[in-house]
Amino acid sequence: MISIGKVNKKFGKFTVLNDLTLELELGKSYALIGPNGSGKTTLIKTILGLVIPTSGDITIQDKSILKEWAYREKIGYMPQIGRYPENMTIGQVFEMIKNIRKHTGALDEELIQSFELEKMYGKRMHTLSGGTRQKVSAALAFLFNPPILILDEPTAGLDPVSVEILKDKILKEKESGKLVIITSHIMSDLDDLTTDLVYLFEGDLIYNDSIKNLKKETGETKLGKAISCLITQNKCLTELITS
Amino acid sequence: MKSLLTILLTLCIPLLTFSQSTNGKVSQGASIQLAIDSAAPGDTLFIRAGKYLENNLLIQKPLTLIGLDYPTIDADGKGEIFIVAGKDVTIQGFKLINTGRSSVEDLAAIKGLDAHDITIRDNRFDNTFFAIHLSNTNRALIQNNHLKAEAEHEYQLGNGIHLWKCKRARILDNEVSGHRDGIYFEFVTNSTIERNQSVGNMRYGLHFMFSNENEYLENTFKNNGAGVAVMYSHGMKMRHNNFEDNWGTASYGLLLKDMRDSQIIGNRFTGNTIGIYMESTSRSTFEDNLFKQNGWGVKLQASCDDNSFSKNNFIANTFDFSTNGSLVLNKVNGNYWEKYQGYDLNKDGVGDVPFHPVSMFSVIVEKVPSAMMIYRSMLVTMLDKAEKVIPAMTPENLKDNCPSMKPYDLYRKSK
Amino acid sequence: MTRIIKYILFDMLRTRFILLYLGFLLLSTISMFMLDGDNAKVVLSLLNIVLLVVPLVSVIFTTIHFYNSYEFMEMMLSQPINRKTVFLSQYLAVILALSLALLVGVGLPIFLYGASGSALTLLYASLMLTFVFVSLAFLAAVFTRDKAKAIGVGLLFWFYFALIYDALLLWVVYQFADYPIERATLAMISFNPVDLARILMLLQLDISALMGYTGAFYKEFFGSNMGFVYSTAILLLWTLIPVTWSMRIFKRKDL
């Protein structure tokens, strides 16, 4: 579905993505992890066209996305911090995004209902709590039933009930055959939600395989443990190389 | 038989002359010169409507020529039209066109030489070099004429009404446009110029040279190279005239040069590049005048002394007052300055702090005209404010000690 | 795009900044008309405010707005919409919001108390200044991710054009007073939008004095409509060049 071919991204002298090659397929759910500054957000932004790669190409359904914008109708994106014009109401935000999307198919308003956002349509964005804003962002990401979902720290700031609602929704969409990319620092969430792991470290792709295999390799049952094992392995490796 | 003829003739001659003196009419195709020559002194000639191709019509006796429905006399670019060299001539109701042009001679539609008591009334002049040119003529009356000329260059134009060495002329209700000077006086005394419109003349609307004790009232001078120039003259009265929109590089509403003992009262100067420009002018009074929306209200050169400015209104001029020296020998007191920002604590209508009408920036512009381009910028506003506090460039003793808080009601006064 | 502009504009019109700006303009214009009945004098006082405040507010508001909308623009750009549309909707919405504030804050009192030629020119000049400084501020904003830096650069623009430039100009004019520097002066004026806006006003208020210039060049320039047309054209260039430039940068920018 999404194929990332030899993508480099440099900010000045600093390399954020280093010759990254990666295939992301429909029906799979990817946990995108890595320490801070490892290039996760840059990768997501590159897929969204917010960051333009220094070299390399990204294709979605075999079509390059560089200098394109219409492909984004296939993507639902939930940002880490959703900020909206302060004096707009929730209703207006939905209206506006609907207007931009010009979506013709059915709308998926499940999250709007389960988060009970309709009741708050008249509220202005600056009166909302961070959690409510996250709910709005989540609802928007799923609203147009896109085949690709990119969720940046989806559960951060949400109350436990809402977290469960959102996780159920993500699972449901994954099972319906969508491509889901999630970044999170909460390993238990990822354990539940994802099938595959993409591990980035300083712009390099360190690991890209199914979680099942990872657990098998490391002999751990929990994703968190497995990953820390991976990290230590990685450290030993880099030390080996440098020495 | 012969005696009978003589008797008949002697009977007829008075009859003939009688009919000529009262009803002498000239129709198109006939010669006006012939009619003038055959007329007796004191006769009235009526010229019927039509076109007469004649020039240099010489009149040397008292005669009244009256055009009926504006007969046109066309000199066809050759010479002059009427040359009057006798007293008591009246020329009325003609359309006089196309005189010759010359750089040597002052060719005119009506030329008067020693033509005392001449009356020129209700005529129209078109495309003439000089329209009316009088020399050595006393008590001329020039009334209600329309004078129009057109040319690209000043040397192609003569003056509209040109008087040289005349006394007690009266010039009333005329309209002059497109000439070099609208009205020109040289060595003319005790004359009156009243209610004329002098518009769009290339040099001056009205020009005095060496002409003393004249007055001009209620005239309008608009769009001329400069409105009025008064040079080497004294004892002039200038009242209730309008000086409007005289724009240009050396363009003044009123230019005063070597003038003394005169009165400039109740005039309106609006939209001129310079309202009044004066040099070497002394002992003159400037009162009840309005200076509005001029580039400079008054430009007073340091060569002027003993003049007094009072009860004038200065409103919305770019610069109210400017001068090129620091020594000021003129009185500027009790005027209304719109730019005045002082206060009046005792409520007597007079500002409690003096007003300095010369702004710093006007001094700068005087030195460097291109600096005008940054006028009204924040920088200039700041500089002007600073100068008000610590005067460094402006003449400190040029100030109005009792500026009026309210504009004077000049309109009512002039009525 | 019009729908997006509408949403952003309505959002902006509710911000405290725009309301304060509107209030300030309305208050100062009306109080000036009340204190002084003379239209011409009010225009003069307003001119000082306009030349100072309009560029300043345009710069600050634009920069603040741009950075406050950063995440929102990201969000919009994750939707199927091209960057040009997003950029232009933001730009036009800012222009519209500030222009509306001017039209209501200055225009309305002018029409109520009597619209003169110079008052309308003032309104026109201040709108032009708004366009120019919004464009310049956008340019500063797309160049750097640092909000404080962008505001700093914007303020520098403002201070330079409002004060420093004229001081330099005066100095040059003084130095070369003996040379024919009319065209050079005019060319220098063209490099300062605030000066161009001021020239529009000079043409209204001081035409009699301007006509006193020696030299046919100024006479032709100021005497016809050429001065007005020229100033407007250059001001439009001052608007279009920064905005197209910043749009080009925005299109290739990493958000």
- Looking at residue B7, what is its pLDDT? 53
Give residue-wise pLDDT tens across range B281-309: 999 999 999 999 998 999 999 899 999 99
Beta-strand (E) ranges in C27-109?
none
pLDDT above 70: residue B221:
yes
C-alpha separations of C218 from C121, C180, C226, C227, C232 in Å: 20, 11, 10, 9, 17
- The torsion angles phi and psi of A164, rounded to 5 degrees, stand at -65, -40
Which pLDDT belongs to residue B17?
42
DSSP A29-54: EEEEE-STTSSHHHHHHHHHTSS--S
CB-closest option in A72, A79, A99 to C74: A79
Option in C8, C75, C82 nearest A79 (CB) = C75
Q: Do C4 and A100 touch (CB under 8 A)?
A: yes
| pLDDT surpassing 60 at residue B21 | no
Residues of B in contact with C192 (CB under 8 A): none
Along chain C (255 residues), what's the average pLDDT of each consecutive run of 10 residues?
Answer: 87 90 93 81 85 92 91 88 92 95 93 86 94 94 88 89 91 86 86 92 83 70 83 95 94 85
B13: confidence class by pLDDT, cuts 50, 70, 90? very low
Compare CB distances from B273 to C169, C195, C208 and report the shortest one's residue: C208
The separation between CA A86 and the C-alpha centre of its own chain, rounded to angstroms, equals: 25
Question: What distance in Å separates residue C233's CA from the closest CA in chain A?
Answer: 33
Look up residue C254 and give its two tokens. 């990493």
- For residue B146, the number of C-alpha atoms closer than 13 Å in the C-beta half-sphere is 7
This complex has an ipTM of: 0.85
Straight-line distance from the first to the last Cα atom of chain C, in angstroms, rounded to the nearest whole number: 21
Q: Are A99 and C83 a contacting pair at CB < 8 A?
A: no
Q: Which two tokens stand for residue C100?
A: 């509306």
Contact between C77 and A100 using a beta-carbon 8 Å cutoff:
no
The token pair that represents B84 in the structure block: 């009057």
Q: Which residue, among B161, B191, B163, has the nearest Cα to B176 in the 3D structure?
A: B161
Partner residue facing C177 (CB), from B247, B274, B368: B368
- Residue of higher predicted confidence among B403 and A229: B403
Distance CA B394, CA B374 (A): 19
Residue with token string 């440098």: A242
Does A97 sit within 8 Å of C78, measured CB to CB? no
Amino acid at A168: D
Chain C CB within 8 Å of residue A91 CB: no
Q: For C140, phi and psi rounded to 5 degrees?
A: -60, -35
Task: Work out the average pLDDT over A171-199.
Answer: 87
Q: Which residues pair with A170 in a beta bridge?
A: none
* Among the ranges given (A3-7, A29-33, A195-199, C206-210), the one the predictor scored with the smallest mean pLDDT: C206-210
Residue C65 vs residues B103, C61, C141, C146, C153: alpha-carbon distances, Å: 73, 6, 10, 13, 15
Percent of chain B predicted with pLDDT > 70: 93
Q: Do B370 and C40 touch (CB under 8 A)?
A: no
Q: For residue B143, give the 3-state DSSP assignment.
A: strand
Digit-coded pLDDT (tens) for B316-371: 899 999 888 777 789 999 999 988 888 899 899 999 999 988 888 888 888 888 88
Percentage of chain B lying above the pLDDT 90 cut: 65
Which run of H or of E encompasses A165?
helix A160-175
Interface of A with C in 139-168 (CB under 8 A): none
- The tokens for B161 are 């009404």
Quote the pLDDT of residue B96: 95
pLDDT in tens, B74-129: 999 999 999 999 999 999 999 999 999 988 889 999 999 999 999 999 999 999 99
Phi, psi at A131, each rounded to 5° = -65, -45
Chosen from C5, C66, C75 to mutate, greatest number of chain A CBs within 10 A: C75
Residues of chain C contacting residue A96, judged by C-beta atoms under 8 Å apart: 3-4, 7
Residue B104 to residues B107, B125, B373, C143, Cα–Cα distance (Å): 9, 21, 44, 74
Put simply, the answer to whether A70 touches C71 (Cβ < 8 Å) is no
The pair of three-digit structure tokens given for residue B264, joined into one six-digit string: 């400039």
Sheet-wide strand order for A75-78:
A75-78, A148-152, A179-183, A29-33, A196-201, A204-210
Partners of residue A85 in chain C, C-beta under 8 Å? 7-8, 11-12, 69, 72
Chain A contact for C89 (CB, 8 A cutoff): no
B152, B130 Cβ separation under 8 angstroms: no
Axis-axis angle for helices C226-252, C193-205 (nearest 10):
160
For all residues of chain B together, what is the average pLDDT? 88
What pLDDT score does A130 carry? Answer: 87
User: In A, which residues are within 8 Å of C10 by CB distance?
Assistant: 87-88
Identify all chain C residues contacting A92, using CB atoms and an 8 Å cutoff.
7
Residue B374, chain C, CB below 8 Å: the answer is: yes
Q: Across residues B222-239, what is the average pLDDT?
A: 93
Q: Which chain C residues are Cβ-neighbours of A84 within 8 angstroms?
A: 72, 75
C-chain residues near A69 (CB < 8 A): 80-83
Q: Do C185 and B370 touch (CB under 8 A)?
A: yes
Q: Which of residues B17 and C174 earns the better pLDDT score?
A: C174
Burial of B349 from C-beta contacts in 10 A (0-12 / 13-18 / 19+)? exposed
Please give the structure tokens belonging to residue C103.
Answer: 């039209």
Name the DSSP class of C107.
I
Residue B360 CA to residue B383 CA, distance in Å, equals 8
Q: Looking at beta carbons, which residues of chain C come within 8 Å of A82?
A: 71, 75
Asked if the C-beta of B341 comes within 8 angstroms of chain C's C-beta atoms, the answer is no
Segment holding A14, helix H or strand E: strand A14-24
The residue segments making up the domain with residue C94 are: 2-252
Q: What is the pLDDT of residue A25?
A: 87
- Determine the 3-state secondary structure of B192 from DSSP: strand
Structure tokens at B231: 């040079």
Number of domains comprising chain C: 1
pLDDT at B412: 56
Rg (CA), chain C: 19
Query: Which of the four pLDDT bands, split at 50, 70 and 90, describes residue A242?
Result: low
Q: Do B377 and C48 touch (CB under 8 A)?
A: no
The rounded distance, in Å, linking the Cα atoms of A67 and A49 is: 8
Check A100 against C79: CB less than 8 A apart. Answer: yes
Asked if A79 and C11 come within 8 Å (Cβ–Cβ), the reply is no
Tell me what pLDDT residue A243 has: 61
If you measure CA to CA, which chain A residue comes closest to C250?
Answer: A50
